[in-house]
Amino acid sequence: MAGEGEDRVATSASADGSAAPVPAGGDYDRLRDLLLGDERRELAAARARIAELERAQRDLPRRLPDAAVAALHENRDNPRVADALAAPVAQALGAAVHDNRQGIVDALFPVIGPMIRRAIAEALRGLVENLNEAIESSFTVRGIKWRLEAWRAGVPYPQVVLRHRLAYGIDHVFLVERESGLVLRHIAAPGAAPLDADAIAGMLTALGDFVGDSVGGDRRALESAQIGDSLVWVEHGPQANLACFVHGVPSPRLRRLLEQLLEDVHVRILALPVDAPLQVIGEDEHVCELLDPVSMLRAASADDGEGEVFRRHKLPRPLILIVLIALVALAWFTAGRWRWHARVDALRDTLSAQPGFVLGGIEERPWRSLVVHGLLDPDAPSPLAILEQADLGKASVRLDATGFVSADDRVVLRRAQRLLQAPADVTLGVQDGVLHIGGEASQAWIDAALLRAPLIAGVVRVESTAQAQIDPARVARAALGRALAELAAREVSFVREDEPMVGSDAVVEEIAAVVRRAQASAREAGVTLDLRAVGSSDEGGGSDINARVRALRARWLALALAARGIVGVGEGDARVNPDPRRRGASVHATTADAP
């Protein structure tokens, strides 16, 4: 039978439904299993894996969104997922805009409307604030400077104000391929916030298509847009567009500069080889230098529209020279008038504070004459000295004063000193009209002063603490006695013969001072004063030698006093030794009443 001549193989179902051969029994089957069993089992496992992969491939569209979300969450800090999805998303966005423009327009309309309204509101708010500041600064130094600038340029004042107040800056510059919307070059200003260049390029392309579809025409309809706080200016070219992100209110010169830069870029594009891709232009160093925001801002500021106006209205040099001379003369005249009035004001303040003078007014002719009118007390200090020190140049100065009686304490004191003729030991003072008399004077003068003082103009009351002086002669005798006692206590010491000890000069000075006081007191007391220089010596040596030594010492002291202007000091008797225990010289005095 056919079944008996063939290999009998029993099959069993595996877990995945595939049939796996198993030995059916017998020697032959066992041999075959030994020889081919491993290969047959590997083949069955491979078939099972292929079947599993086919089922997984059929389920991939259903699992792909969940897998993408999981990849984004698990690899949040890894840019590979975003880089991998960037190109497909950009292509998908471009295809969606190309195939379903109206749908994109409808989707963006609720977003673009509020953005445009917000941009207009922000622009108007900024314009109003700048105009308010311009109006407030109209009469300041800066406002006057702007008005002179407007007068020189021949342009309205508000135009100059707007040019100075509405400052702007360039943050980002994009060079974008016209057809594909790919970024050829993106340059950001230092310190500008980073932007996603591809996303910005796609957004500008979408906005261009949206505006073109809405108002008709092509993408060139989008020339400017407000995105957040930035104003976007777009310049269109045959092969590339230039987009510039600006903050503030840009000058019209910037628009002309963008046009010129885009023309220069297209000149570089035309110079490329025919088969060169357009992306090469983004690596051109000259193009990078042209599109640098700092360079663009410097170029736009160096020669904006108002500068051209100034050049067209440039004043002739002779007229400028005349204007400068007139301004210098005006400044000199103004400074001179200011100095004159400052000096006159200082003079007015000084005269107002002058005691016994009431300033009525100052009649002045700058740099020519000055007349001071007022009231002057005869006992007050004359204001002429003040007028001479006023430093009024060659102007003639005259005082026109009318006499009056001042009650100022300082003037009343001068009047009291003039009328009372107080002695040197008497003190006078006036406070709030009260005359204070102090010191010592003769009783006769005190009685006369108390009678005359209340009659002095300006004196309200008299208070006296003055005391009558005692007998001058007796006072002088007492002073003479004190001087003679002090003179007897001073002595010049000697080392040997007429050689004084160290420090004798100071002692001689003291003796000279005491002698002067004694002589003055003697004259006041009416006493005759006899002064003798007397020397002293110890008991060593003979009497003749000691007398000679005492004579030398007395002569030395008399000559020392004479050298200091002391006259009338003679030499005593050398034979008398006043103090045998000492070796010195002193002045002895005797008094007698004057005849």
Instruction: Kindly state whether residues 413 and 532 are assigned to the same domain.
Output: no
Q: Are strands 461-464 and 183-188 parallel, antiparallel or unpaired?
A: unpaired
Instruction: Kindly state whether residues 392 and 441 are assigned to the same domain.
Output: no
- The set of residues, in sequence order, having a beta carbon less than 8 Å from that of 168 and lying 6+ positions away, is 246, 247, 248, 249, 250, 251, 254
405 in Cβ contact with 378 (< 8 Å): no
Taken in order 331, 332, 335, 340, is the CA torsion positive or negative?
A: negative
Domain end (from 421, 442, 467):
467
Instruction: Kindly state whether residues 572 and 500 are assigned to the same domain.
Output: yes
Give the whole-angstrom CA distance, residue 534 versus residue 499. Answer: 15
Q: Give me the domain span that covers residue 38.
A: 2-57
Sequential DSSP letters for 205-273: HHHHHHHHHHHSS-GGG--EEEETTEEEEEEE-SSEEEEEEEEE---HHHHHHHHHHHHHHHHHHHTS-
Give the residue from 145, 169, 168 showing the smallest Cα distance to 157: 145
In a domain, 87, yes or no: no
Q: Spell out the per-residue pLDDT of the chain, length 595, in tens.
A: 334 333 444 444 443 444 444 444 577 777 777 777 788 788 888 888 888 877 777 776 777 677 767 766 666 666 666 677 677 777 777 777 677 777 776 666 666 667 777 767 666 666 666 666 656 556 566 677 777 777 777 767 666 666 665 567 787 888 888 777 777 778 887 777 777 777 777 777 777 766 666 655 554 557 777 776 677 878 887 778 888 888 776 777 777 888 888 788 877 777 777 677 777 777 777 777 777 777 777 776 655 444 443 344 455 667 777 888 888 888 888 888 888 888 888 888 888 888 888 988 888 887 788 888 999 998 888 888 888 777 777 788 888 888 889 889 999 999 998 898 888 888 999 999 899 998 888 888 888 889 998 999 989 999 988 888 776 777 788 888 888 888 888 888 888 888 888 888 888 888 889 888 888 888 888 888 888 888 888 777 677 888 888 888 888 888 888 888 888 888 877 777 777 777 888 888 888 765 5
In a domain, 75, yes or no: no
Helix (H, G, I), strand (E, B), or coil: what is residue 540? coil
In which element (H, E) is residue 361 found? strand 357-365
In which element (H, E) is residue 554 found? helix 543-563
Instruction: Kindly state whether residues 107 and 161 are assigned to the same domain.
Output: yes
For the record, the structure tokens of 396 come out as: 């003639």
Q: Which pLDDT does position 90 carry in this prediction?
A: 73
3-state secondary structure 399-432: EEEEECCCCCHHHHHHHHHHHHCCCCCEEEEEEC
What secondary structure letter does DSSP report for 192? P
Residues linked to residue 496 through DSSP beta bridges, in sequence order: 499
- Burial label for 492, CB within 10 Å (0-12, 13-18, 19+), is buried
Q: Which pLDDT does position 435 carry in this prediction?
A: 92
Give the whole-angstrom CA distance, residue 477 versus residue 516. Answer: 14
Instruction: Kindly state whether residues 525 and 433 are assigned to the same domain.
Output: no
Instruction: Kindly state whether residues 439 and 385 are assigned to the same domain.
Output: no
Q: How many CB atoms lie within 10 A of CB 9?
A: 12
The total number of structural domains in the chain stands at: 5
Torsion of CA 477, 478, 481, 482, to 10 degrees: -140
458 in Cβ contact with 433 (< 8 Å): yes
Q: What is the radius of gyration, based on Cα positions, of the chain?
A: 61
List phi, psi (to 5°) of 207.
Answer: -65, -40
Instruction: Kindly state whether residues 352 and 432 are assigned to the same domain.
Output: no
In a domain, 575, yes or no: yes
In a domain, 236, yes or no: yes
